[in-house]
Amino acid sequence: MTASEQPFRAAEDREAVAAAFRGSAEMEEMTSAMDAYDQNTLTTFGAAAAREMAQACDETARSLSRLQSLGDTDLLERLGALMKQFDLGELKDSRLRLDALMGREDRVLEKYRRLGAELGEVYARLLAVEAELNRQNAQMKRLFDAGLARWRELVKHTEAAEQACRELEAHIAARLAEQSASGDDERRMDLHTLSQSLNLLKNRARDLRTAELAALQTLPLLEMMWRSNEALAQKLRAAVLVSLPVLRQALAEAVEDKKRRLQAKALRQVEIGAAKKAPVEALSASLKTLRQDVALTRAAAEENRRSLEKWRGR
């Protein structure tokens, strides 16, 4: 399983790895590396796997500590504030005669040109946010896949150590029966050595299990952050980054249409009441869509922010 597949379920994944490993040539090779008469092979067994797992967890912690959620920025709030400044009545025909009387034509046109420019600035920053989310997602998938591979390797070492314990226990039981029958002092000393080795091996197996559990404090949270980030990126990509350019285009057309109608009025080429309403209606529809998309994206950003806070406060 990788980060792009099914959600990580630790118990199920561990059992699948252990089941495939038991009785395999790889398990035989690992258990053979442990020598009951060389206690150093017992106390250091799986050290490299545990160290690599710890390094993966440390790298993950450093990477996630540098993450910044869209929920930590003011972009969506700024976008919402810009949308609140829209008064579509200012662009409709019914306002033309009043605007002319009050000398507001230029101010209205300038207002919406400014809004269009500010919307463009927000759009550019949101594109940068999307690019950063994509970079973060690629990094988190890499960290998760690497951490999962190392965790599975640690599981194998734990299974091998526990299997070695069972084999050594059986060997000790057989030697104990032999010693009881013979009363051989040399065998008694050998049993003492084997018993010490068994205790060391049990401790090592316990340590490896503990390392497994420690890793499980990181992997599920890392997956949660990746999926939250990916959901936010998808929402941003499919909603705001689609509807915002549509709104900007509709705004530009509505402003141009009002400018044309004002010029026509000044030249007395057309009657005001005959002016087109379609650009303002299109702008109204675009504004409604963007408001809905911002609300959806804000919800995803808030969930992403909570996930990040959960990670930081774990």
In degrees and rounded to multiples of 5, residue 35 shows phi and psi of: -115, 115
Residue 277 confidence (pLDDT): 52
Residue 169 confidence (pLDDT): 95
Average pLDDT (25-32) is 95
Mean confidence (pLDDT) of the chain: 84
pLDDT tens for 221-263 read: 888 888 888 888 888 888 889 999 999 999 999 888 888 877 7
Asked if residue 15 has pLDDT above 50, the reply is yes
Per-residue pLDDT band at 121 (split at 50, 70, 90)? very high
Note the helical H segments in the chain. 10-21, 25-32, 39-43, 47-65, 75-84, 96-102, 105-182, 185-215, 219-238, 240-267, 278-312
Identify the CA nearest to 123 among candidates 67, 76, 87. 76
**Which carries the bigger pLDDT value, residue 155 or residue 276?**
155
Helix axes 105-182, 47-65, angle to 10 degrees: 160
- Amino acid identity at 187: R
Asked if residue 49 has pLDDT above 90, the reply is yes
Give dist(CA 44, CA 16) in Å, integer: 26
Residue 271 confidence (pLDDT): 46
pLDDT tens for 77-105 read: 899 999 999 988 887 755 445 445 445 67
Average pLDDT (128-156) is 91
> How many percent of the chain have pLDDT more than 90?
43
Asked if residue 37 has pLDDT above 80, the reply is yes
Asked if residue 152 has pLDDT above 90, the reply is yes
Residue 223 confidence (pLDDT): 87
Average pLDDT (32-51) is 94
Residue 286 Cα distances to 103, 124, 314, angstroms: 28, 19, 42
DSSP state of 6: S
**Which carries the bigger pLDDT value, residue 233 or residue 178?**
233
Asked if residue 122 has pLDDT above 90, the reply is yes
Domain extents for the chain?
10-312
